[in-house]
């Protein structure tokens, strides 16, 4: 089934316009991509900031000055810059800096893991649907249509309401939410690639399906799918935080930015700066992923070779 | 702030009209933000728990026996409501006779009499009556499982038989409210339509219902008790489940009164010129722990140790004084508190000693899992407070694994015995409770009421307590019944049947314009004395 | 065109059926139901059983589903367990309140988005493009529910210009106060559509502009209003698709914003139903929102086909 323009656009923020499937194995392609990226200061800065955030989350146990889960109740709600607590303390006297560092672990996990799993599952199903066409395509795509009938946040909330709170359930629900759009994109791109001349030629010359998939199709579809997936990470982070905000996501006493945002919400009239910190980090991280996704897209887009 | 011209003109006109009416025109409008997520049902049997009863139950509808909310200095007790008096038959202690008040009219003008009472009892307790209300019935029956039969003796006398003798029946019948049968007929015999134009006998009548947005009440000038005719002209009730939203609404002048401001916001509210009103009421915020064999809390020494390990004053300080330390089931100054041997002060050394005696120590720490909710009715600041307790217990060597879930899931866990799947392996559940009257003691501490049968989640079983509770149920003399309740409180305190943490003080914040509010020591409050400046 | 429309309509039927099964199963898996919350923990067991029978929860799942489907086909969404009101009436009331916000938010978000997108594309690579790109990327990166609280703090509590919460009118705003109560929620809701649409429009316009005939026209100095018109027409299908999806998102995704502003819309209703385990309300709300989303996709497909006949097959 030939997918129309509509299917490649999406409610998911960063997919702008259609994804073009074009031969990307031409020699020097990746060199070119790298070159373009090196000339794109915005993407480079975003990447640098993101690397910093990721590293600080990974090395949180080394960097954090305090235990993020144990505070001193007498030291609660100290302002940013308070002696001994660089970013203040939260409502039970836990060090904010430590909690924000540790919080990055869960927030990044809930951003990256669901997208990665959805990419593997959805990519596999979507590429299969696009590659084999016919009944395989019909079965996969019709089931996808059903899931696709739910706006993402609605589906995430419904699934989380059903499974209950906790990190694991958040990851499951977000993964389920992202599988359908990835299937759609993958199927669409694969269908386009399959009908391209050089693939047709390979098929005509008697290439076996596996070889065709491995050498002709995969290399050409992975890039656009990957670019799309990076843009979903930002959405995943915001959705995960939103779930925690509604009390459906990661549950206390875990350190997670959305949860911290929620529990500090009442402090907004008392210490706005403190209450804003987790929100700023969610925004910053999500922005970095969006900028990187944009940068990758324009760097990989061969149309710019004109 | 701009005014709409239309509104100003209407206001002027209304002002002139009311002005000519004389004395009753000066009450003003009180706008209250409730914590409920929805407008409680207006059919005379509100949902949304006791908050629903507080604002859309007793304000508009009345029970046969009502709460006396007039004296803020002592725990609220019962007083005659739509029944002027009642008595139990000494020969048959299941038979109660109620003598009804004469001359009372519903808001729609129809008469209150024995037929109305029987009609309402049929509404809740007879599935086959045409006015049967499945939803209201479920709530009422939950609170009143004792009804066996009821009949009219004459126009102003009603007789009710209970399933078994229960001395505290008055504390149970007080949750059954009376609505107007004529208004139900006028609504086409449909409770959903009745909810739009309800009629009770209370001091306020409902004038406008906007589902999920607001309910407006107006003064019932024809109220049967002239002393309790409200001073206010109008009350507007708005559901606002988010604490931050309530705070914003109060601070931006959208409402005059909010229920439960976040404790941390209280100092800033006070300095911004708002009044914060607190008052003790029958509320417990405990851990109900599993005391059965195999549970870490089976050993009474462990339970006492935990009770000694908590810095309740520090916790109260964290809550900005919106709670008082709990040392038993009743508040320490309650007439039924008694004199338990254990006074649970903050004594970590004693706690460590008790734990050591029970065989725990630094090399053999006690581990337990606690389940609580992220929010919920009466839960106060559950996550923050449990984290505080977790810190306290860690200091004496009790290692707490804290699990939070949302309110609905927690209530499901509470219905199931410890160890079953819905309880998620918890050794204790943190759920707050009303402790309005002695009948509740049996629900929580009698061994026949172990979950999943009833509310004794922790499987507490103490033959001595059971015996006293049984005697209490059959003691119809209030003073002697109270003595038994006192004895139970002493026993369950020394036995550390629960981890007693705090009693809520139910903070409310209001503008300085709100006058005359006297917080009763009750879940329910009297708005008739309130006026707006 | 007609056959295309009919074909798409027919395709929607199995999807809707699948959606109904999925919604039903999802809701069934939630632990407990409203009765657990409504009745005290010492409620007699026979009362609980009786209430379960009242709502048909005692029947096997497939029977419950068929009963629900049968009611659905008769336009009946059942009755709320919590307050015995018909779900359909409550839901349509709530949906109306959501639309009151969603439509102006869509107009604002789409309008700004298209304007920003076209302007950015026409200034490709220049400072204006960079600035607008940052604006749109901010729109999609902000946790908008949090941004909403910040707006309330500034405009309601500090400046006292706008109400902090609630819908200050019954169905449609007729007073200044009513309109004022819409300002903050509409702005918050319009952020994401603004960001997404402007990015899509920018990309779509750039793509059309890169096509050779535009370059040829351009080279011949024929750059004119008609060329711009042509570009916009060709960028329209992608834009339309994303706008359709975004409108669906405004309806389904309003849950967070409605929670912050205490707005009595469908998102608020769903949130409440989830926390109360009010199964009929949950089922009805999710189903109607999803059905609306399916229908919206269908309308977008047909509209695209009208603009661009190549899409029809």
Q: Could you tell me the CATH number of the domain that includes residue C223?
A: 1.10.3720.10
- For domain B283-504, which CATH number applies: 3.10.105.10, 3.30.1360.120, 2.60.40.3470, 3.40.50.880? 3.10.105.10
> pLDDT tier at A20 (50, 70, 90 boundaries)?
very low
Q: Which residues of C touch B453 (CB under 8 A)?
A: 42, 45
Whether pLDDT at C18 is above 60: yes
A304 inside domain: no
The model's confidence at residue C217, banded by pLDDT at 50, 70 and 90, is low
Tell me the average pLDDT of chain B: 89
CB contact (8 A) between residue C270 and residue A5: no
Residue of A9, A103, A289 best to disrupt the C interface, most CBs of C under 10 A: A9
The yes-or-no verdict on residue C226 having pLDDT over 80 is no
Domain-located, residue A138: yes
- State whether A306 and C210 contact (CB < 8 Å): yes
Structural domain range at position C207: 99-277
Q: Is A229 within 8 Å of A182 (Cβ atoms)?
A: yes
pLDDT score, position A26:
56
Average pLDDT over residues C32-54: 70
Contacts of B135 in chain C (CB under 8 A): 81-84
Over chain C, what is the mean pLDDT? 84
Q: In this predicted structure, what is the pLDDT of residue C42? A: 63
**Predicted pLDDT at C221:** 59
Q: What is the pLDDT of residue B360?
A: 92
Tell me: the pLDDT tens digits for A111-121?
Answer: 999 999 999 99
Torsion angle, alpha carbons of B524, B509, B326, B469, to 10: 10
- Model confidence at C214, pLDDT cuts 50, 70, 90, reads low
Q: Which of C12, C24, C141 to mutate to test the interface with A (most CBs of A within 10 A)?
A: C141
C208 Cβ under 8 Å from any chain A Cβ: no
How many separate domains does chain A show?
1
Per the CB < 8 A criterion, the answer to whether A190 and A277 are in contact is: no
A165, closest residue in chain B (CA to CA):
B405
pLDDT at res. C250: 86
Query: Residue C283, Cα to own-chain centre: how many angstroms?
Result: 17
Give Cα C93 to chain centroid, integer Å. 16
| Residue C70 within a domain | no
DSSP state string for B27-75: --EEEEEES-SSPPP-SSS--SHHHHIIIIITTT-EESEEEE-S-TTSB
Pairwise CA distance, residues B306 & B313, whole Å: 15
Q: How many CB atoms lie within 10 A of CB B199?
A: 26
Across residues B470-483, what is the average pLDDT?
A: 92
Q: Which residues contact C220 (CB under 8 A, 6 or more apart)?
A: none
Contact C255 A154 (CB under 8 A): yes
Q: Does the pLDDT value for residue B241 go beyond 90?
A: no
Q: How confident is the model at residue A2 (pLDDT cuts 50, 70, 90)?
A: very low
Higher pLDDT, residue B184 or A4 = B184
- Neighbouring-strand partners of residue B147: B162
Kindly determine whether residue A234 and residue C18, on different chains, have CB atoms separated by under 8 Å.
no
Question: What mean pLDDT is predicted for residues B494-514?
Answer: 95
Q: How far is C174 from chain A (nearest CA, A)?
A: 31
Establish if A1 belongs to a structural domain. Answer: no
pLDDT number for residue B12: 42
Outline which parts of chain B fall under CATH 3.40.190.10. 2-6+32-242
| CATH code, domain with A211 | 1.10.3720.10
Distance CA C208, CA C117 (A): 13
Q: What is the pLDDT of residue C277?
A: 79
Residue C131 at interface with chain A, using a CB cutoff of 8 Å = no
Please tell me the least confidently modeled range out of A290-304, B119-133, B135-149. Answer: A290-304
Do the domain assignments include residue C148? yes
Q: Confirm or reject contact between B424 and chain A (CB < 8 A).
A: no
Distance in angstroms (rounded) separating the CA atoms of residues A194 and A131: 7
| Chain A CB contacts of C253 below 8 Å | 151-154
Specify whether the CB–CB gap between C301 and C188 falls below 8 A: no
**Residue B247 is inside which H or E element, if any?**
helix B243-251
Number of domains in chain C: 1
Residue A164, both tokens: 């209950």
**Residue A10, SS3?**
coil
Q: What is the pLDDT of residues A203-229, one digit of tens each?
A: 777 777 777 777 777 777 887 888 888
Nearest by CB to residue C164, choosing from B4, B145, B249, is B249
Contact B402 A268 (CB under 8 A): no
What would the pLDDT profile of A238-295 be if each residue is shown by its tens digit?
888 888 888 788 877 788 898 898 888 878 888 888 888 999 999 999 999 999 888 8
Q: What's the pLDDT score for residue A3?
A: 34
**pLDDT, chain A, mean:** 80
Rounded to 10 degrees, what is the CA torsion of B41, B132, C41, C82?
-40
pLDDT at C219: 62
Candidate CATH numbers 3.10.150.10, 3.40.190.10, 3.30.930.10, 3.40.50.300; the one for domain B2-6+32-242: 3.40.190.10
Q: What is the pLDDT of residues B263-288, one digit of tens each?
A: 888 998 999 999 999 988 999 999 99
pTM score: 0.85
| Range in A90-94, A210-214, B395-399 the model is least confident about | A210-214
Residue A161's pLDDT is what?
Answer: 78
> Which of the four pLDDT bands, split at 50, 70 and 90, describes residue B25?
very low
The first and second tokens of residue C119, run together, are 């302007």
Nearest to residue C139, comparing CAs of C102, C113, C107?
Answer: C113
pLDDT of C40 reads: 64
Domain with CATH 3.10.105.10 in chain B: 283-504
What's the pLDDT score for residue A273?
86
Choose the weakest-confidence range: A89-93, A205-209, B1-5, B197-201: B1-5
What CA–CA distance (Å, rounded) separates B74 from A53?
A: 57
Quick check: C229 pLDDT over 50? Answer: yes
B217 CA: distance to closest CA in chain C (Å): 17
Full residue range of the structural domain in which residue A294 is found: 35-299
Higher-confidence residue: A13 or A149?
A: A149
Q: Are B287 and B370 in contact (CB under 8 A)?
A: yes
Which pLDDT band, with edges at 50, 70 and 90, does C169 fall under?
confident
Give residue for tokens 């009786």: C50
The nearest alpha carbon in chain B to A269 belongs to B265
């Amino acid at each position: 089934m030939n997918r129309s323009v509509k299917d490649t656009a999406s409610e998911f923020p960063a997919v702008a316009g259609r994804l073009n499937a074009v031969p990307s194995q031409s020699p020097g392609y990746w060199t070119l991509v790298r070159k373009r990226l090196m000339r794109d200061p915005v993407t480079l800065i975003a990447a640098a900031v993101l690397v910093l955030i990721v590293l600080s989350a990974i090395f949180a146990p080394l960097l954090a000055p305090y235990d993020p889960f144990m505070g001193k109740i007498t030291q609660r709600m100290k302002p940013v810059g308070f002696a001994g607590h660089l970013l203040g303390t939260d409502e039970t006297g836990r060090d904010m800096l430590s909690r924000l560092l540790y919080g990055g672990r869960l927030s990044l996990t809930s951003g990256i893991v669901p997208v990665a799993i959805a990419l593997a599952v959805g990519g596999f199903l979507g590429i299969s649907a696009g590659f084999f066409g016919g009944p395989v395509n019909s079965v996969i795509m019709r089931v996808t249509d059903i899931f696709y009938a739910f706006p993402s946040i609605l589906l995430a909330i419904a699934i989380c309401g059903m499974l209950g709170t906790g990190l694991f359930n958040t990851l499951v629900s977000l993964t389920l939410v992202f599988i359908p759009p990835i299937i759609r994109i993958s199927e669409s791109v694969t269908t386009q690639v399959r009908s391209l001349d050089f693939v047709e030629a390979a098929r005509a010359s008697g290439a076996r399906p596996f070889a065709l998939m491995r050498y002709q199709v995969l290399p050409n579809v992975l890039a656009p799918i990957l670019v799309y997936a990076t843009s979903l990470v930002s959405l995943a982070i915001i959705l995960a935080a939103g779930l925690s905000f509604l009390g459906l996501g990661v549950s206390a006493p875990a350190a997670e930015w959305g949860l911290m945002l929620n529990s500090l919400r009442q402090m907004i009239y008392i210490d706005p700066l403190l209450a804003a910190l987790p929100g700023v980090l969610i925004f910053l991280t999500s922005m970095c992923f969006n900028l990187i996704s944009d940068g990758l897209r324009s760097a990989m887009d061969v149309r710019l070779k004109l | 702030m701009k005014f709409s011209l239309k509104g100003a003109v209407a206001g002027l006109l209304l002002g002139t009209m009311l002005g000519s009416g004389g004395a009753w025109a000066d009450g003003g409008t009180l706008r209250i933000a409730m914590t409920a997520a929805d407008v409680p049902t207006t059919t005379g049997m509100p949902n949304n728990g006791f908050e629903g009863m507080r604002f859309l139950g007793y304000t508009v509808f009345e029970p046969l026996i009502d709460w006396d909310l007039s004296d803020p200095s002592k725990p609220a007790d019962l007083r005659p409501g739509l029944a002027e008096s009642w008595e139990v038959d000494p020969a048959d202690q299941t038979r109660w006779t109620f003598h009804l008040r004469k001359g009372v009219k519903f808001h729609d003008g129809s008469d209150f009499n024995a037929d109305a009472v029987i009609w309402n009892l049929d509404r809740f307790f007879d599935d086959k009556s045409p006015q049967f209300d499945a939803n209201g019935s479920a709530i009422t029956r939950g609170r009143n499982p004792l009804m066996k039969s009821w009949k009219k003796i004459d126009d102003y006398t009603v007789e009710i038989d209970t399933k078994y003798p229960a001395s505290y029946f008055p504390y149970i019948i007080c949750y059954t409210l009376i609505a107007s049968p004529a208004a139900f007929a006028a609504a086409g015999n449909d409770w959903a339509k009745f909810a739009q134009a309800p009629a009770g006998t209370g001091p306020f009548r409902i004038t406008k219902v906007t589902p999920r947005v607001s309910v407006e009440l107006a003064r019932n000038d024809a109220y049967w008790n002239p002393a309790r005719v409200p001073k206010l002209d109008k009350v507007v009730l708005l559901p606002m489940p988010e604490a931050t939203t309530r705070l914003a609404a109060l601070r931006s002048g959208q409402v005059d009164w909010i229920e439960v401001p976040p404790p941390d916001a209280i100092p800033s509210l006070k300095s911004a010129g708002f009044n914060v009103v607190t008052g003790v009421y029958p509320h417990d915020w405990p851990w109900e722990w599993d005391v059965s064999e195999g549970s870490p809390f089976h050993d009474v020494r462990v339970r006492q140790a935990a009770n000694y390990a908590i810095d309740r004053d520090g916790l109260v300080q964290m809550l900005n004084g919106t709670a008082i330390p709990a040392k038993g089931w009743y508040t320490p100054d309650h007439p039924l508190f008694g004199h338990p041997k254990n006074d649970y002060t903050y004594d970590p050394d004693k706690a460590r000693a008790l734990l050591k005696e029970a065989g725990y120590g630094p090399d053999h720490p006690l581990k337990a899992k606690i389940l609580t909710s992220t929010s919920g009715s009466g839960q106060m600041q559950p996550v923050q407070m449990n984290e505080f307790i977790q810190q306290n217990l860690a200091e004496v060597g009790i290692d707490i694994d804290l699990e939070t879930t949302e309110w609905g899931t927690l209530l499901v866990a509470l219905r199931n015995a410890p160890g079953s799947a819905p309880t998620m392996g918890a050794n204790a559940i943190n759920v707050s409770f009303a402790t309005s009257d002695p009948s509740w003691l049996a629900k929580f501490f009698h061994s026949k009421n172990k979950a999943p049968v009833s509310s004794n989640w922790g499987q507490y079983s103490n033959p001595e307590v059971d015996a006293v509770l049984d005697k209490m149920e059959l003691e119809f003399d209030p003073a002697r019944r109270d003595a038994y309740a006192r004895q139970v409180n002493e026993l369950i305190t020394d036995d550390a049947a629960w981890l007693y943490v705090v009693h809520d003080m139910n903070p409310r914040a209001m503008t300085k314009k709100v006058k005359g509010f006297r917080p009763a020591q009750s879940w329910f409050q009297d708005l008739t004395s309130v006026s707006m400046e | 065109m007609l056959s295309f429309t009919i074909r798409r309509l027919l395709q929607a039927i199995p999807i809707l059926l699948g959606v109904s099964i999925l919604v039903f199963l999802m809701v069934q898996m939630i632990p407990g139901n409203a009765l657990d919350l409504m009745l005290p923990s010492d409620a007699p067991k026979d009362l609980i059983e009786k209430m379960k029978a009242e709502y048909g929860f005692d029947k096997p799942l497939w029977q419950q589903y068929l009963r629900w489907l049968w009611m659905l086909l008769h336009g009946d969404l059942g009755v709320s367990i919590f307050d015995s009101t018909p779900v359909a009436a409550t839901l349509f009331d709530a949906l109306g309140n959501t639309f009151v916000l969603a439509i102006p938010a869509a107009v604002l978000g789409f309008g700004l988005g298209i304007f920003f997108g076209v302007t950015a594309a026409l200034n490709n690579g220049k400072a204006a493009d960079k600035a607008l790109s940052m604006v749109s990327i901010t729109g999609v990166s902000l946790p908008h529910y949090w941004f909403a609280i910040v707006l309330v703090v500034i405009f309601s509590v500090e400046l006292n210009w706008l109400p902090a919460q609630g819908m200050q009118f019954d169905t449609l705003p007729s007073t200044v106060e009513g309109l004022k109560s819409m300002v903050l929620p509409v702005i918050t809701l319009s952020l994401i559509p603004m960001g997404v649409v402007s990015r899509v429009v920018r990309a779509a316009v750039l793509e059309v502009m890169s096509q050779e005939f535009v370059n040829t026209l351009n080279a011949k100095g024929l750059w004119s209003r008609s060329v711009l018109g042509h570009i916009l027409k060709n960028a329209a299908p992608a834009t339309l698709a994303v706008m359709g999806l975004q409108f669906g998102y405004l309806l389904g995704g309003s849950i967070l914003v409605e929670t912050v502003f205490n707005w009595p819309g469908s998102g608020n209703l769903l949130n409440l139903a989830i926390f109360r385990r009010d199964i009929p309300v949950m089922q009805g709300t999710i189903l109607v929102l999803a059905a609306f989303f399916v229908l919206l996709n269908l309308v977008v497909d047909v509209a695209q086909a009208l603009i661009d006949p190549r899409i029809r097959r």
